[in-house]
Structure formats: C-alpha cells, structure tokens
A and B are shown apart, each in its own frame.
Chain A
C-alpha cells in the first residue's frame, strides 16, 4: 500500500525551532567543556610527567649533605690539629695530608652540587647571596689548601680556623635553603592542588552538561516517539480516507503508471487493483488532447495542479463515463514524486444539466408559445375590431338622428377602447419580440408630435403640456428605435396628463455627450399631478397594475401603459426611473444612448413623395385578401380614393388577375390560403404578366412582417393592419414615386426629378397640379375638409414664418409653432414645405437661430409659391385659423 507522507513535503523536522536552538547551545557547551577538559588533561599529563621525571635531586638531601661534608672536613682537620698539638708529630704525614685533601675535595664538589641543584629552583635573594658567598669562601679555602705543605703547620691551623669560620655560613645557608625548598614544595603543592581542583570542576561541569544532554536526548526520544506515533496515525487516517472517499483516487508515478487505486476507483472503472497496477492513466482516462497538450505524457503533467478538468473514463465493460479529474503532485514517504488523481463521476451532473437545459428550452418554448398565442389572439381580435371600427367610421353621420348619433359615438368610443386594449397587449408582446433595427429619427420631432396629440386631452383637465429641448439636435442626425421611443414617450406623457388636474406636464429632452459613442439623450416627463406613493411605485410597473384602483372611473389605462413604456425604454438601452411624491407630482426619466446616423448627414432634404400631382385620377388597383371583411373595407377605401379596385381572394387568384391586367397598385395581404402574399408578389414580379411593374404593397396583421421583409418579398412596401386611409395614401404615393423615379435617394440622376422644387417653372402647370391634388384630397376626406385642411396648412406655415420673425416669441414657442406647421404640411403631402419647416424646428430645438441660415428664405419662397398655387382654388374661409382638433 502506498504510504503517503502526512505533510506531503517529504522532509519533516522533528524539533521545533526553540528546541533545536537549545540542542545547539547544549552541543556547543559540551564541545567547549570537552576542549577545556582536554586542555586540562594535557596539562595534567604534563604535570604527571613532571612528577614522574624529577627535574632535580632531592633538595633536602643535598642541603643536608653540605653540612655533613663540611663537618667531615672539620673533623679530619681537628684530628690533625690534635695530633700536632699533642706532640705526636711535628709535621703532617703524607697520609693525613692526603686525607685532608680528599675531604676538602669532597666538600668542594659538594658545594658545586649544592649550588647547581639549588639554583634549579626559585630561591630567595638571601639564599642566592649566601650561595655566592659560599662559593667565594670555598674558592678562598681552595687557594689555602693548595698552598698547604706537610711541614707548614701554621698554615694548616690557619686553614682549620678558616674552615671552622665557614661553618656558620654553611649553617645559615642550610636553613635558608631549606626554607626555600619548603616554600617551593608548598607552592608546587598548591599548583597541583589548583590543577586538581580545576580538573575536578571541569569534569563536574562536563558531567553536568552530559546529564543535561542525556535529559534532552530522552526528551527528544519521547517526542520522536510521539511524532512517529502521530505520523503513523495520520498516515493511517489518510489511508482510511483514501480508501473510503467517495471520489475515485488513482496514484501514479510521473510516467502515469498506476501505482495504487482506492476502492471507489476500482468500482468506478470496474477493474481490480491488481489489473489496474499494470495499466497507465491513459488506459482509463480520456484526456482531451487539446487540454493535455500535444505530447500526451508531458501534457498530462501540464494538467497537474491546474484544477478540475472535464474528461471521461473508460470502464472495463466498455462504457464511457463522464468524470471530472483533478491532478495533484506530491511525494510519497520515500520522496518519490507521485501524481494523485481525484476522479469524480459526474454522469449524474451531466444528466441533470442536460435535463435542466431541456427544461429551460421547454420553458422558453412555452413562453414563446404564450407570446404567439397572445399575438395570434390579439390579431384575431383586431381583425373584427378593424372591421367594426372601419364600419362605424363609414356610417354617414349626417343621416342619423341625435339619439343614434350619440349611440354611434358610444360605439366608436368603445371600439376604440377595445382596440387600444388589444393594441397594448400586442404592443407588449411586440416589444418583447421586437426586432426593430436602428434607423434615423428625430426625437424632438416625435416629442413635439406627441405633445400636439395630447394637447386636447390636456386641455380637458385644465393641464398645460409643454416640450423643452436642450442640446445640439441640429448637429447630429441620430439613429435609434423611433417606434419604441414614441411608444415610451407617448405612454409616459399620456399617463402624466391622465393623472394631473389643472397642472403642468413638462417633457424635457436633453442631448449631450460626444459622437460617435458618447451621445446620450435624457428624457424627462414631469407632472404636477397626484403623485405615486412609494408602495405603488414598485407595483405600477407590473403588468395590468394601475396606480389608483379606487379611481377606475377616471383611469382609462389598460394597465399596460407603464410596463410597455418600461420595456420600450429598455429596448433602447435605457432604464426607466421614477421620482414621485404623492400630492406633489411625478417625474419619469430615462437616458438612452444614441448613435449618429450611419449614412452621412444628407443636407439635402430627404427624397420625399412628390407634391400631389395626380397623373390621371383613376388607378387600376387590385386588392387581395382572404378575409371578406378586410377585402370589402380595403376595396371601399380604394374606391373612396377615386380608384376602381378589383379583388382577389388569395395569392393564386391575384397572380392570375395580375397577369391579365396591368394594375398600377396591388394591395396584397400576407397570410392567405393557396398562395400567400410574398409568394404571390414574387410570382407576379417574376412572371410575364401585365402587372410585373405594378406597385405591390403588402398588408399584414402580424408583427414580424415589417419593413425588413419588404425588399425580400418583392414588395415595394408593407403596411400593418389596420390600415388607415392616410397610411394607404402615403404608401401609394411613396412607392409610386419610387417606382416612377427609380432610386428615390438619387432622384436627381434620373432626369428631371419629379420632386423638383416648385421654384423652377411655376405657372399654370403647378396650378393645375394643385387643383388635382386638392381634388384628390377631397376625394379622400370630403371637399369641405380638404379645403379647410389646405387653408389651415397654409395658415400654419404663415404663422410659423411670422413667429420666426417675431421677437416676442421664445425659441421653444417658435419650435412648437413650426412643429405644428410641419405636421400639417406633412399630412397634406407638401413634402418640401414640411422638410424645410422640420429643419427649422430642429435648429430651434437645438437652441440655434435659423436666421443665420437660408432656411427662412427658402420657407418664404415655398410659402409664396404655394399660396400662389392654391389661393385661387380656395374660397375665402375666414375666421377658421385654428386647425380642427
């Protein structure tokens, strides 16, 4: 079984740092003590040798012998003197002389020995001096005795006297020397004693240190035992953990040869440990080549320590199980590098993930289905509503009684309301799935439109609604989502008006930042209405919630207004914010990023529909729709416009009819049986029939079929049901122009553009055109209305011009007035006028003075010409300067 080292580091320190230091100090001390002891022992040995080898003769003996030898000399001299004095002889015999000489010689040599022996030790000054005296004395005696003859008895006596006289000296020197010797002995003894003591103490110290050392060793031993036991326990614990973990663990060497596997691994892989031991990691694990690196082996090692990796393992029965693998490098107890692989069976996880994804897909599909259901339902509801509203609209009011007229009004109101509800629901769904792409738009214009639309409603509640713009609106042509923008602003402004009485509603637009990426449009809708409490603030953004449920009578919302606005804002990349205080008012605000229009700013007016010049009043129009009601209504509308419509009930019929007859315009519904709209359009275009050049306008109820599809579907334009007369008219005009003039943007390249400025070639042709236009309009809305509208438009334009010149009017007010004129001119199809006025409005909204440009001049010229064209046709309709509304 593989033994893992518990700390994983292979090297383990048994001693803690403090213990180690103690041990080190101890060893050091022992070393020092040993050295000291060794030195002492050496000195000891030297002393020992010194003791063994005497460096000098026995001092006491030598000192004593001096006196003895002197006494010996004195003795023989006494005997000789006695013999002489007693008269036995008068001279010395040879024998006696020889004896005296011998004794003196002995004495002589003794003095030498005495001196040399004593001088080997430390002597006192006194002794030194005495030795010198002794030597001198001896030398003197030597002279005497050498001169001695046998006959000279007197000399002998004198010699004897001298010898005797030297005795006290000898006595003294003996004493002195003995004292010195004693001192020396004592000193030596002391020295030895000191040596002994030192040796003893050092031995004791060493002994003590050794004792301490022994103690420490015992301690360490115990600790080692404890540690070993602990290590063993940990190793045992690890082994247990190793074997009982729920993860599969495979231990390999650096060559991926399997060294050991735990039980889980064996169970997972379906092999027995013994078999696994002969395999490598590759045999059981599928490691992604990309993850592992090119070289499988080193690549695998690259994975070491890098965290879990998804993989799969090959089991004995051939199955492949998804697993998560984590490789870690470590060392076993012998220090050999091993790689530990932790393998987790994640098949359940994978299955769960798959299930989750499937569930998510299902949920998404369900949501989508719900949306589709909503859309379809709404569509289904819109169609009859469309019919209802159109029918109601076609009823001639003049033939009704008062009571019936009132009923009619109610019916219309109700149907309008119903339609609004359906629209809102559709809107919500549409916004949720909207694929509106950015296009160029004028936010200030849209805001002005909305303000205009809401003016009547505002006035009903004594409210004042105003628009304030700030920023370089004139410098940039911006791209955004105009539909979403309009929807959001309209809902917010509409709400503000609804919930305010005798107050003020302000719409503020602020354009700030730098192109190309930093442009921002800040929008605020502020009112002095009833406000929204904090509790409600959260709630009102929910679908179908309204702020004041108690006042449902005054509330006319579907409850979707705010959610739609919120969604629309988010679609544009902003977030709808709300500040409100009950009783004071509310302020909705959002900021959206805008990008400059992708196409370079076209200073020239956009190609637009030409002035209404009817080239022959009646057109050949084919109306195609599978729905009977729609078909009837659309055809009626066309008839009212002054054309003669044919009808077809499905695409195939349309193709056949279009092949026979050259229609000018084909109004094609999208979804039809047998052959649907787009296919039919393609067929007509591709075919050799009479109507290949016809203007084909698609009419759809579904959201998806919007502008993006028109080009692909061989249709010139697409309208969404319900189609108003104005929309239809506009579409026809636009596409007719496009069909007639080719690429509308480049109208100038195709010869004299049909939308040439009216400055060139004025005269009866224009007047005739004006008349025709007026006639066409009359056909649409009735002559009275047409006349009134035209007059009103001209009046609006005149008022706008006057406002521009006036100093009493603020720029914002000027912008509003101009905006009105833009609207009416646009409605009437006076495109150039409308464009010019629009540009002026933009400048005004940006805070710039149009007086510096040529626009006012252009406006004046346009207006003058139009007046010249139309005034002859208009009766003097006085006093009706206000546009009906």
Chain B
C-alpha cells in the first residue's frame, strides 16, 4: 500500500511538475518511456487526437452494448514516440500492468481508445484511455490472453529494451 501510494504521489508530482498547467485537454494523460533510448514522450488528449485515428464498433465482455471505439492505434503511438513495434509494458492507473507482446501490435489494432461513441470517457468509465481490440472483427481476440491485454485506465507505456 505504501509503495502504491508513493508511486501515485510520484506520478502526480511528475505530472504536476513536468507539464505546465494548461487546460485539461493539454494535460498529459499518457507517458511513453522508451527505456532503451531512455526517452520519454508525453501525450495529451489533443496530441492523441491529432494522430491518425482508428475506429471500430465492437462488443466487449465488459460492456452491455456495442460501442464504437476510436483512437490512435498502438503502433501509431509508438511511432509517434519514435519507436517501432517492440516489447512493451502497459500500466494502468490502479498499477495493474502487463507485458504486451510485440506480435499483438498490428497497424490498426489494438487501438488506444480515447473516445467511446465519439465522446471521451472518465476514469469511472474505464477512461481516459482503453487499450482495446476489435473483438467482434477478429474472433481470435476473444481469448483470455487478449482480455488481459485489454488494459483500461491506461496511464503509461514502457518500451522495453531488446
């Protein structure tokens, strides 16, 4: 508990310090650390919205109805962060983290959704970022492995060194 608490504090502090306090749209909501090159890229919602967007409608095991998820694909984000597909570690706000295998990174899937049905979604609604796969489109995504990779409340992505 303490460590979590510390980590949360650290995050908040970093956030508060590193980024000038602009509007919420400009608030960085995603940190991409390239551990190999030792770089860090921050993305705000506007930054993410500026990237090439993907969108698909799908049902999920966590939602009642079919929703349209839209956002930049993971590949796009990595590219924007100056990296290609590599081994990643994705972190959620509640400190849940999972290693993301490279072979699951496709050009258009998964996407880091920041809009559900065209609207942003708060933490309470598993926002602001949800790494989501087009489950309906690809039946093979309906596996427990993928479910585990479908991280919601994403806050940080670490690009692991080779």
Residues in chain A within 8 A of chain B (CB atoms): 52-58, 69, 72, 75-76, 79, 95, 98-99, 102, 105-106, 108-109, 112-113, 116-117, 120
Contact = CB atoms under 8 A, between A and B. Distances in A.
B83 interface: no
A98 B12 contact: yes
Interface string B87-105: 0000001100000000000
A106 B122 CA distance: 10
Given A56-B61, A69-B94, A116-B61, A109 B125 contact: yes
B100 to A, nearest CB: 17
A112 B34 CA distance: 33
A297 to B, nearest CB: 77
Nearest to A119: B64
A106 B123 contact: yes
Contacts of A95: 9, 12
Interface in B139-153: 139-140, 142-144, 147, 152-153
27 contacts: A52-B143, A53-B139, A53-B142, A54-B61, A54-B144, A55-B142, A56-B61, A57-B61, A57-B62, A57-B144, A72-B94, A75-B1, A95-B12, A99-B9, A99-B12, A102-B93, A102-B123, A105-B93, A105-B124, A106-B153, A108-B124, A109-B126, A109-B152, A116-B61, A117-B61, A117-B62, A120-B61
A866 B139 CA distance: 154
A116 B62 contact: yes
A75 B8 CA distance: 13
Interface in B9-47: 9, 12
Contact of A57 (B93, B147, B153): B147
B64 A116 contact: yes
B5 A105 contact: no
Contact of B143 (A53, A72, A79, A105): A53
Contacts of B142: 53-55
B101 to A, nearest CB: 18
Contacts of B153: 106, 109
B111 to A, nearest CB: 19
Contact of B63 (A54, A99, A116): A116
A106 B93 contact: yes
B11 to A, nearest CB: 10
Given A102-B93, A109-B124, A117-B62, A54 B143 contact: yes
Contacts of A54: 61, 142-144, 147
Given A99-B9, A109-B123, 14 more contacts: A54-B147, A57-B61, A57-B147, A72-B94, A79-B5, A105-B122, A105-B123, A106-B153, A109-B126, A109-B153, A113-B126, A116-B63, A116-B64, A117-B62
B99 to A, nearest CB: 17
Interface of B: 1, 4-5, 8-9, 12, 61-64, 93-94, 122-126, 139-140, 142-144, 147, 152-153
B25 to A, nearest CB: 18
A54 B62 CA distance: 13
Contacts of A117: 61-62
Contacts of A99: 5, 8-9, 12
A53 B133 CA distance: 14
A76 B93 CA distance: 14
B131 to A, nearest CB: 15
Residue among B4, B94, B140, B143 with max Cβ neighbours from chain A (10 Å)? B94
Contacts of A102: 8, 93, 123
Question: 7 closest pairs, A vs B, by CB?
Answer: A105-B123, A53-B142, A108-B124, A54-B144, A105-B124, A106-B94, A75-B1
A109 B153 CA distance: 10
Given A54-B142, A54-B147, A113-B62, A72 B12 contact: no
Nearest to B139: A53
Contacts of A76: 5
A116 B1 CA distance: 27
Contacts of A120: 61
Contacts of B93: 102, 105-106
Contacts of A75: 1, 5
Nearest to B121: A109
Nearest to B150: A57
A112 B64 CA distance: 10
A54 B64 CA distance: 17
A337 B153 CA distance: 91
A334 B142 CA distance: 65
A192 to B, nearest CB: 17
A117 B147 CA distance: 12
Nearest to A49: B139
Contacts of B94: 69, 72, 106
B144 A58 contact: yes
Contacts of A72: 1, 4, 94
Nearest to B143: A54
A222 B72 CA distance: 74
A69 B152 CA distance: 14
Nearest to B4: A72
B33 to A, nearest CB: 21
A637 B4 CA distance: 187
* Interface core residue of B1, B123, B124, B125 (most chain A CB under 10 Å): B124
Contacts of B63: 116
Contacts of B123: 102, 105-106, 108-109
Contacts of B62: 57, 112-113, 116-117
Contacts of A79: 5
A373 to B, nearest CB: 129
Nearest to B9: A95
Nearest to B64: A116
Contacts of B5: 75-76, 79, 99
Contacts of B1: 72, 75
Nearest to A61: B148
A72 B142 CA distance: 30
A69 B9 CA distance: 17
A86 B129 CA distance: 37
Nearest to B142: A53
B142 to A, nearest CB: 4
Nearest to A104: B124
A54 B9 CA distance: 37
A113 B124 CA distance: 11
A75 B5 CA distance: 9
A785 to B, nearest CB: 156
A105 B155 CA distance: 14
Contacts of B125: 109, 112
Nearest to B63: A116
A529 B134 CA distance: 141
Nearest to A108: B124
A105 B61 CA distance: 20
Contacts of A55: 61, 142
A99 B8 CA distance: 8
A522 to B, nearest CB: 118
B97 to A, nearest CB: 14
A109 B4 CA distance: 19
B106 to A, nearest CB: 19
Contacts of B122: 105
A69 B153 CA distance: 14
Contacts of B126: 109, 112-113
Contacts of A106: 93-94, 123, 153
A54 B143 CA distance: 5
Contacts of A57: 61-62, 144, 147
Nearest to B8: A99
